[in-house]
Amino acid sequence: MSSTKTESQGGLTRSLSHGQMTMIALGLAVGTGLFLGSGGAIQIAGPAVIVSYAIGSLIAAIIGACAGEMAVRYPVRGGFGTIAGRFLGPYAGYVTRWAYWATTVPLVGAELVAVGQYMSFWYPQVPLWVWVVISGALIVGLNLTSVRSFGALEFLLSSIKVTAVMVFIVIGLLFVFFGLPGQPATGLSNLTNDGGFMPNGPSSIWLALAIVMFSFGGIELISVSAAEAKEPVRAVRSAARAMMYRLATFYVGAMFVIMCMLPWKQAATLKGEIATSPFVMVFSALNVPAIAAITNFVVLTAALSGANAALYAATRQMHALAHDGMAPRVFSRTGGNGIPVLALVISMVGSVAAVILAITGVGHIFQYMMALVTFNVLVVWALIMISYMAYKKREGDASPFRVLGGRLTAGLGLAGVVATFAAMVALGEMTVPLLVGILFFAVISVIYVVAVRKTQIIDDAAFDEARTQTAELPAVNK
């Protein structure tokens, strides 16, 4: 099917397949943390971190499923942020989209800095900023191509790291239960050595959520990409279901393998370096040659994929804000290939600023930006759940893709987000993010009252068009 452009979606082009949409979301949700270890979470919960990741997977699945159900019904530009505006009011839509934009822009910068650090593994003599510039130019080029080409390249980047995770899990499980030539099976003893399965008590499972949940950031991207999907209803429905199962398998499976193969106190000391990656440790035991270089290539790909997906998300949120009169209207313009070029430029400018702050360390401002990311992603997730509950109250089972349990399940997901926030408070990690977040929302709220409230556009045409696409499709429960 050829790509099509729809005016009600602000000139965006519908070109993404469901496979590409899944991989765009996985570009953020399967990141370098999985490859380089989760020492902080392991230190808190010990082997019980497996349960923390299982709970985190469930919460993430609920968030993704609820965002997916609404996006199947309304595949509109801006995704869950635009939907929040419809069911919670214009201010909620404004806050949700600005919060998500402010989340994704610093993430682009952080991932680009990570790319530079990974390249230093091979070329330590080359300054970090050189690789940042090269990788930044690369992802801008990817995002300036047609959305079809962008989707294809993101599919390739994400496929590399997804394949690496699958290979790791399969070989790891063989190693644990059966052993491999020259290597006896490790068995399950490491799950109960050194103090038992829950050496720090049951509460440690909850406290570890403060670290675990942020591994799943990006699951909501399916909703954002819905406005550019071929056959959006079918594509979003298929992609949402596929991604939920994959995330649970990847994270829980990988952590199970790591906890079985390494004593948890050793795993807790992993410092996020290539040499101490659990992937390197596992494959080194099998005498796989050049495993450190191979792992570095995988995490490099993961960082590039994450930066690429984050820039895409930031660009589409800015485009949606501008189209609805909640940001300067100039950023709503799209080129002949359906790319919102000016929205891309302003998002990249913000990311360049983040890179400069990260490299120079001026006044620790970059740390405050990342604190804002921490606070904002929790706010965005909570607003997705609240929007879903309002949507279900008004429209019931209108969507052909339905979350099992509906509002009750969404309430469980919201409780999980609140529990994550509470865990961060208990660990003392929320003080700075809370202060920075309150300041951010105070500033954008003042701007809304002074400059946006009277000039915003309520675009019902986009919702009317989207509604007609769901009329004849059969219902499917999650």
Kindly list the domain boundaries of the chain, sorted by start residue: 14-470
Ranges of H-type helices in 182-340? 203-207, 209-212, 221-225, 232-261, 264-267, 278-285, 291-323
Report pLDDT for 401.
79
pLDDT tens column, 147-204: 777 778 878 888 888 888 888 889 889 888 988 777 788 899 999 988 899 999 999 9
Which residues touch 407 (CB under 8 Å, ≥6 apart)?
Answer: 388, 389, 392, 393
Question: Over the chain, what is the mean pLDDT?
Answer: 83
SS (H, E, C) 388-401: HHHHHHHHCCCCCE
- pLDDT for position 4: 47
Span 127-135, average pLDDT: 92
pLDDT at 447 over 90: yes
Which residue type is seen at 453? R
3.30.110.30, 1.20.1740.10, 3.10.129.10, 1.25.40.10: which CATH number matches 14-470? 1.20.1740.10
Task: In whole angstroms, give the CA distance from residue 344 to residue 2.
Answer: 24
Task: Give the distance from CA 381 to its chain's centroid.
Answer: 11
At 467, the pLDDT band (50, 70, 90 cuts) reads low
Predicted pLDDT at 5:
46
Among 260-264, 265-269, 335-339, 434-438, the least confident range: 335-339
What integer is the mean pLDDT of 354-377? 84
At residue 207, the pLDDT reads 92
pTM of the shown model: 0.88
pLDDT category at 287 given cuts 50, 70, 90 is confident
**Res 8: pLDDT:** 42
Q: What is the pLDDT of residues 396-431, one digit of tens each?
A: 887 777 888 999 999 999 999 999 999 988 888 778
Cβ neighbours for 350, distance < 8 A, ≥ 6 positions apart:
105, 106, 108, 109, 314
Placement of tokens 């003893």 in the chain:
189
Measured distance CA(143)–CA(138) in Å, rounded: 9
What's residue 237's pLDDT?
Answer: 74
Percent of the chain with pLDDT over 70: 87
Band of the pLDDT at 464, cuts 50, 70, 90?
low
CA distance 63 to 244: 10
More confident residue, 215 or 52: 52
